[in-house]
Structure 1
Amino acid sequence: MEGDSGFITVQKVYYPLLCILGIPANLFTFYMICFRKCGMSDTAIIYLSCLAIVDTFYLVWVILLDLTLTFWQLQPFWHSHPACGIMGFLQYGSLYSSSWIVVVFTIERYLVLSSMSAKQHFSQAKVTRLTCVSIILVSHLASVPMGWINVVTPKNFTREGKNVTVPWCHYRGHIYSTVLVWVTTFLSGGIPIILVIIFNSLIGHHLTRARKMFTKEERRVMRGGGTKGMVRRTIFLLGTVSVSFVVLSLPRFVTYCILRTKYNHDWFDRNDYRIPINLISDLANMLQNLNSTTNFLLYCMVSRGFRQELIHTLTCKSKARELGSFLTQTTMKVFSLVDHKTPPTRDPITVVLTNLKQTQ
């Protein structure tokens, strides 16, 4: 039992710390991506800013209001009706949104690399915005059945030496819950992981084949180009985010499948950490939840533009740079006004000849 209490203590500290660090980090990441010039394409800005927002909601619904309160309160508010069903809907809606934004962003990058017509279509900001909104709406629509996966029943507790009956939110003992758990396991983990691996492999194959078509000098010139360099940086950033998604999500998917096959019995005690699968499964769950807080660190590590803007923001150098840019623009406007005040020539022939030369 000491091992049980020790691991519970770890989770009591881990999940509040995840909220304290993760929520501000995601909101600050959203600000940096949307309002600072981090050298990202317009489509990357939209996808990554949406990812930061849905990850923030995931931290609020799942980590803060569910797991943190579970370990720190005997009776969290969502054990009553209708909060029990609403929490399930919101949690899985944010989980689906986070997973499928990464998937669609990966597929979009592959299509942009492999097809010129796809590049012209998906490079439009309005198309990307519509795609992100559609992902979030469909994800929450798909999570509507999760509102009925739990049921509220009375449960007896011993509190201060007295028996107390309180409402308790838990899985329905029905095939409906089993089917939904399998569906959500594959929609939020299995299928996204497979698609991300496949399309990242295709992107890697495409880039490897493209490298063989150019010499070192040509590749150096292409790297220096603005558009090519931005595409390369975006793909590198996407690769880092998607690999992190797979590495942190795969253990939970595997352990969940094991729990729902080998240990799917009514008599199985999921809270007994003396059973190895319970300990491993909760560790895998902690890893996946970490996925919603790591993007800020990933951007700092792989994006030089993000690092530079972060340093400028923290050291207030951006204000000096903006002031210098403002003074430069003001000076240019003054000189342009002076040039416009120069009296035009009075020789009509010269004006006609000049206009003729300009039209040629």
Structure 2
Amino acid sequence: MHETESGLLYAIYYPVLAAVGIPANIAAIMILSRGKCGLSKCTTYYLVGMAAADLLVVITGVILNRIVGIYFSASYMSITPVCSLQIVFIYASRDISIWLTVAFTFDRFVAICCQKAKAKYCTKKTAAVVVWTVFVLSFLQNMPWYFKFEPLYIIDEMPWFCHTKPIFYSAPLWVIYSSFNCIVTPFIPFFLILLLNGLTVRYIVVANRARRALCRNKNLENSKDPELENRKKSIVLLFTISGSFIVLWMTFIVHFLYYRITYTYSYMGYDDPIFILEEVGYMLLLLSCCTNTCIYAATQQKFREELKNSLKYPLTWIVQFLQC
């Protein structure tokens, strides 16, 4: 891929991603907040939190970082303190999005597999505590990134751009902090999502067999079982969200492992396969922040109905206004 071709691709991809991601996540927040999608208050709170986190990722990672970097490379967003703070927000919003996906996966695991703990844990109050704790801890954890950078240029006593300090690669505290972040994000979330989904699948297979056997004994084989139907809806929503996360983050994780193992911190050019792998990983990572609304629309009938009503309302208002 030549420099001009890759630059054109990025110049088109990120604005399209922002144009889709901003309204999609705002629509998800508004529709889910009404509580008319047939989901529990606990589930709704997690999904609203995830949509808010994804919206924050689109604003910081796509608009302020990628789009501004492509179209306004010498703007005031490139002043070193602003640039450093922007990096903190990008990493924090990314971590919030990841860990809320883990929290939602764990909540569904408890709701499906741990019936005794469900009444105490799967509540709106618990969800609120978990969501806000993730938000606060993610920002606190990523604050040290602000001190990772130094100015690349100083023009008229103004520091410009963010250049990684050489000490970052050798200082023990930075090495420990960087390694800690590598473990916390994305490897632990990735492992937990796979583990929890595996345990959930195992529980459902066993429970469904027992349920069907009970139905056969009661001659209810042909009748609909509300318990199985509800369980099926929860699983479809859980697995599509978790599966989307795993697929779209896989490329980023592969590159992450490669450059950490081989210490590849620079590239030969835009044609370098490792550079292309890194950029594709970021593109898919940012895309994951726009997919949840599509997942809700594909898997939840009531969400689709609310979305249609939301889209119809402005058109209806315009028609009524014109008829006056």
TM-score above 0.5: yes
2:273 equivalent to 1:269: no
- How far apart are the structure 2 equivalents of 1:181 and 1:244? 27
Cα deviation for residue 263 of structure 1 reads 4.5
2:243 equivalent to 1:243: yes
Name stretches of at least 5 consecutive residues in structure 1 with no aligned partner. 157-164, 320-360
- How far apart are the structure 2 equivalents of 1:233 and 1:45? 14
After TM superposition, the score normalised by the length of structure 1 is: 0.78
Cα deviation for residue 58 of structure 1 reads 0.9
Identity of aligned residues (%): 22
After TM superposition, the score normalised by the length of structure 2 is: 0.86
Cα deviation for residue 117 of structure 1 reads 2.7
Secondary structure of 1:74's match? coil
2:288 equivalent to 1:291: yes
Task: Give the 5 Å matches for 1:71-220.
Answer: 71-154=70-153, 167-174=160-167, 175=169, 176=171, 180-215=177-212, 217=215
| More deviation, 118-127/40-49 | 118-127
* Alpha-carbon contact 1:84-1:151 (below 8 Å) kept: no
Cα deviation for residue 79 of structure 1 reads 2.5
Secondary structure of 2:194's match? helix
Does the C-alpha gap of structure 1 residues 260 and 219 become closer, same or farther in structure 2, counting only changes over 3 Å? farther
* Alpha-carbon contact 1:96-1:187 (below 8 Å) kept: no
- How far apart are the structure 2 equivalents of 1:232 and 1:121? 23
Q: Which deviations, in whole Å up to 9, do the C-alpha atoms of 1:21-65 show, x marking residues without a partner?
A: 101110001111111511111111000000000110111111100
Secondary structure of 1:254's match? helix
- How far apart are the structure 1 equivalents of 2:308 and 2:15? 28
| More deviation, 249-258/229-238 | 229-238
Residue in 2 that maps onto 1:37: 36
Residue in 2 that maps onto 1:224: 226
Name stretches of at least 5 consecutive residues in structure 2 with no aligned partner. 317-324
Secondary structure of 1:273's match? coil
Residue in 1 that maps onto 2:51: 52
Does the C-alpha gap of structure 1 residues 29 and 94 become closer, same or farther in structure 2, counting only changes over 3 Å? same
* Alpha-carbon contact 2:151-2:161 (below 8 Å) kept: yes
- How far apart are the structure 2 equivalents of 1:135 and 1:75? 34
- How far apart are the structure 1 equivalents of 2:246 and 2:185? 11
| More deviation, 25-34/174-183 | 174-183
Q: Which deviations, in whole Å up to 9, do the C-alpha atoms of 1:164-199 show, x marking residues without a partner?
A: x97221222222555544443432322111110110
- How far apart are the structure 2 equivalents of 1:220 and 1:102? 36
- How far apart are the structure 2 equivalents of 1:24 and 1:92? 22
* Alpha-carbon contact 1:211-1:219 (below 8 Å) kept: no
Secondary structure of 1:37's match? coil
- How far apart are the structure 1 equivalents of 2:212 and 2:54? 42
Q: Which deviations, in whole Å up to 9, do the C-alpha atoms of 1:253-303 show, x marking residues without a partner?
A: 1112212332435xx337x12211111211111011100011111111111
Residue in 2 that maps onto 1:259: 259
| More deviation, 18-27/182-191 | 182-191
Q: Which deviations, in whole Å up to 9, do the C-alpha atoms of 1:292-326 show, x marking residues without a partner?
A: 01111111111122112222333349x9xxxxxxx
* Alpha-carbon contact 1:251-1:284 (below 8 Å) kept: yes
Which among 304, 308, 312 is matched to residue 311 of structure 1? 308
- How far apart are the structure 2 equivalents of 1:153 and 1:88? 15
Larger fraction in helix: 2
- How far apart are the structure 2 equivalents of 1:48 and 1:211? 27
